[in-house]
Amino acid sequence: MSRPVVALVGRTNVGKSTLLNRIVGQRHAVVDDQPNVTRDRLFVPVTWNGRDMIVVDTGGWGLDAESGIGAKVKRQAELAVAQADVILLVVDATDGTIPSDEEVAHLVRAAGKKTILVVNKVDTHRHESLVSDFHGLGVEPIVPVSAIHNLGIADLMDEVVELLPQPQDEDEGDPDSVRIAIVGRPNAGKSTLLNALLGNERAIVDATPGTTRDSLDADLKWQGKNIVLVDTAGIRKRTRVPFGIDYFSVLRSMQSIDRCDVALLVLDAEEPAAGQDVTIARYVLDSGKGLVLVVNKWDLIPAEHKQTHKDWLARRLEFLSFVPVIHVSALEGRNVKLALQRAIEVWKARRQRLLRSSVDAVVQAAVQRHPPPKVANRRLNVIWAHQDEESTWKFVLHVNEPKLVPTTYERYLEHQLRKEFGFRGVPLQFVFVKAGKPRKSQGVSPWKG
């Protein structure tokens, strides 16, 4: 099912980005003492107590209303509130309640969404008395935290999980059918690709960026395989185009990815590998879904520049070196069926089941060839390894001490498994557990990168 959305909102410089970093467990958001650093939203997948969610960081409220960028940031925050399942309204304990806080609180109350008032910068016991000043905002419950000192974060996330909508089992249909999501930036040609694959005008195509909004699935029978194409199709009113295109595009793409087996990430050949493309690609990897890169509008690239284009894209997206890349012209119907073929190949690779003995033999041989480096005079010892019983793209390694695993060594093991078993287009994930102890779920699933 699609992950519920948790939105961080509040005025400028109250510590939303620092709070996001604490929730995620690593430094994703840009943190700076200058106000208004975070002007675009950041979308981060998080797991807490077994519940998946997308945490969205928004720009700070309170910029000059006459400023064009200020109006845009404010509108983006409003969109985040409208789309969220749970809202975290963040305030600064040391500043007390100010008019900007009251303005955001009014927006949140009017939205009628489940909300937690997060009083940040409660860094010492002396600051605890300041929390009571915020009851006047009319938002409950109130949770004091210190993002910079990592205090109260677990209590906050426990409260968030309590407010999340209950997960619902979705009808996945035929388990042998392939669910393919067509995702990417606005105006990259997603709907045109869908129509080319189906051979008819199943989705509405419009040259205005942001035309696509609502989820639309289409069934296709191809080479004896049942395929469900998941496109973010629908009509966006032109009056809504100036604001929120990026927000809806990324969020809808993530929700489609949650429902698919393989994602076709459509890149605009004239402007490939933009920030949104990378954001969506990383979400696919974190979700353990298969990925195929579809470079659309290839007919617009001059023949003498095509190889240079391919080389540049390979360098830009080096972290996706295991992902197949298809160059197509959806408008002219060139190579579109090849994209479908690659998606099915990735789907098959993602489903492959390996013998425990085979996985363990490959990992042990890799360790023998290249022993892990010492960490504080201790060396990692891999006792045994196997494929996860439920998630075929995960590998569980039973070791003497999980903290002794360097990131570089994890990449080395991934390379060895790919060399032996393929997994073309499939993001491999590793879980390191202490040998002899039951596997424990992680509180937060960081987004690697």
pLDDT tens per residue across span 114-173: 999 999 999 888 888 889 889 999 999 999 999 999 999 999 999 999 999 987 665 555
Q: In this structure, are residues 267 and 293 in contact, taking their beta carbons and an 8 Å threshold?
A: yes
Q: Could you report the per-residue pLDDT of 178-221, keeping only the tens digit for each? A: 999 998 888 888 888 988 888 765 544 444 454 444 456 788 88
Cβ proximity of 54 and 251 under 8 Å: yes
Q: Which two tokens stand for residue 316?
A: 């830009």
* Whole-Å CA distances, 390 to 47, 311, 387, 448: 17, 37, 9, 21
Domain boundaries, the chain: 5-163, 178-351, 356-434
Nearest partner of 435 among 389, 383, 391, judged by Cα: 383
Gap between the terminal Cα atoms of the chain: 24
Give me the amino acid identity at 213: R
* Tokens 């009509």, located at residue: 235
Instruction: Confirm or reject CATH 3.30.300.20 for domain 356-434, answering yes or no.
Output: yes
Q: Which two tokens stand for residue 132?
A: 């009571």
Q: Which residue has the higher pLDDT, 239 or 349?
A: 349
Q: Is the predicted pLDDT of residue 326 greater than 50, yes or no?
A: yes
Domain 178-351, CATH homologous superfamily name and number? P-loop containing nucleotide triphosphate hydrolases (3.40.50.300)
Q: How many Å apart are CA 182 and CA 233, to the nearest integer?
A: 10
Structure confidence at residue 11 (pLDDT): 86
pLDDT at 133: 87
From CA 113, how far away is CA 437, in angstroms rounded?
A: 41
pLDDT of residue 176: 80
Helical (H) or strand (E) element with 375: strand 374-375
β-partners of residue 119 are 91, 144
Looking at the chain, the number of H-run helices and the number of E-run strands are 11, 17
Q: The domain 5-163 is classified under which CATH number: 3.40.50.280, 3.40.1670.10, 3.40.50.300, 3.20.20.70?
A: 3.40.50.300
Residue 211 and residue 236 in contact, taking contact as beta carbons nearer than 8 Å? yes
- Is the pLDDT at 438 greater than 80? The verdict is no
Contacts with 173 (C-beta within 8 Å, 6 or more apart), sequence order: 228
Can 5-163 and 178-351 be said to share one CATH topology?
A: yes
Classify residue 147 by its DSSP letter: T
Query: Which tens digits make up the pLDDT trace of 184-193?
Result: 888 888 888 9
Residue that has been written with the tokens 């300041």 in this structure: 130
Confidence of residue 27 (pLDDT cuts 50, 70, 90): very low
Task: Give the pLDDT score at 231.
Answer: 56
